[in-house]
Amino acid sequence: MSNAAILVQVWRGSHLESAHRGHGVVCDARGTIRAAWGDPAAIIYPRSSCKMLQALPLLESGAGRELSSERLALACASHQGAQIHVERVARWLADLDLSESDLRCGAQVPDDKTERHRLRDSNDAPTQLHNNCSGKHTGFLMLARHLRASPDYVDPAHKVQRDVRTAFEEMTGLESPGYGIDGCAAPNFLTTVHGLAHAMARMADPSGLGAVREAAVRRLNAAMLGHPLLVAGERRACTELMEASGRTAIAKTGAEGVFTAILPRQGLGVALKVEDGHRRASECAIAAILARLGVLSPQDPAVARRLTPPVTNRIGSTVGRIAPEPAFWSDGTPL
């Protein structure tokens, strides 16, 4: 981690109070680096930022041939457990003759405020449907059934996860050096920041990936761009940045400070990892890169809220600001 570059600054008054370092890469589908910060070879867990890669076998196997774009968006989602997410995942499971108890992701208190308060007021416990990964897991279950494999689909040796690893390694162009267990109990495969950006660039320009994969990629991209609210939720960075791009770019967050982006029009992929895992920094950094790539306007309120958010005190005064580090931001100079 020694070569991480400062990406984001936190100012209070005229003094720099905190700073966030990290690694970032913008590259094309051949893997050619267009811009990089920190160490492109840094090995990271993509966490949820690679859910679209984990969804590829669902389509490529034929299991998901008939899936609606809404369900495909949910398979790629880190949703906040709102009713719009929970109901759709429940219906998808029911259509498979499965239920919430077949999921292996664990229960999660939803980030969606309305749903959280509803649960509290009705004295209900959050369920596995509320888990931000419940759509991904339902996709895994659907693939497992198609493969006539066991229901223990999160086992790293399970066919579902072996297929995910193969797709992941093909898209990143690198053999994964290993895996860790994600917050949702599924394996999460290691790769480099460059490898993750390369995978996103291949998502952006799948023309050289063969007919089956190209079709799968195009369906997933269209699903995410068609349903930004299902991919994350109200007020969430992924949702708002996709909307702010005029639905021309896909932005996907991952825990511990990861963010990826897919730019189909430019044929570019982006990946970044904030060394300390802080979300305020990964959101600022992805907004900065996407603004420099011309797909976001720094003046758009949804962008400015991440790119240059004020630091306020408890009487509501602005006492500081968060901002991309000057060399990284470079006055917004196009990349």
Residues in contact with a copy of itself by the rule CB under 8 A: 1, 6, 10, 12-21, 43-45, 104-108, 131, 177-185, 188, 190, 256-257, 275-278, 281, 313-317, 319-320
* Shortest Cβ 105–a copy of itself spacing (Å): 6
Q: Based on CB atoms, which residue is closest to a copy of itself, 105 or 237?
A: 105
* Shortest Cβ 191–a copy of itself spacing (Å): 11
Q: Based on CB atoms, which residue is closest to a copy of itself, 118 or 247?
A: 118
Q: Nearest 5°: phi and psi at 147?
A: -85, 0
Q: Based on CB atoms, which residue is closest to a copy of itself, 122 or 333?
A: 122
* Shortest Cβ 283–a copy of itself spacing (Å): 14
Q: Based on CB atoms, which residue is closest to a copy of itself, 20 or 227?
A: 20
* Shortest Cβ 124–a copy of itself spacing (Å): 16
Which sign does the torsion angle of CA 167, 168, 173, 178 carry? negative
Q: Based on CB atoms, which residue is closest to a copy of itself, 206 or 254?
A: 254
Span between the terminal Cα atoms of the chain, in Å:
25
Q: How far from the centroid of its chain's Cα atoms is residue 61's Cα? A: 23
Q: How far from the centroid of its chain's Cα atoms is residue 146's Cα? A: 26
User: Which candidate, 107, 76, 47, places its Cα nearest to that of 231?
Assistant: 76
Calpha distance 163→147 (Å, rounded): 11
Q: Based on CB atoms, which residue is closest to a copy of itself, 190 or 302?
A: 190
Tokens of residue 289, six digits: 């890169």
Calpha distance 219→216 (Å, rounded): 5
- The residue to which tokens 């992805």 are assigned: 286
Q: Nearest 5°: phi and psi at 113?
A: -65, -45
* Shortest Cβ 33–a copy of itself spacing (Å): 23
Q: At what angle do helices 134-146 and 159-172 cross, to 10 degrees?
A: 110
Q: Could you tell me how many residues make up the chain?
A: 335
* Shortest Cβ 16–a copy of itself spacing (Å): 7
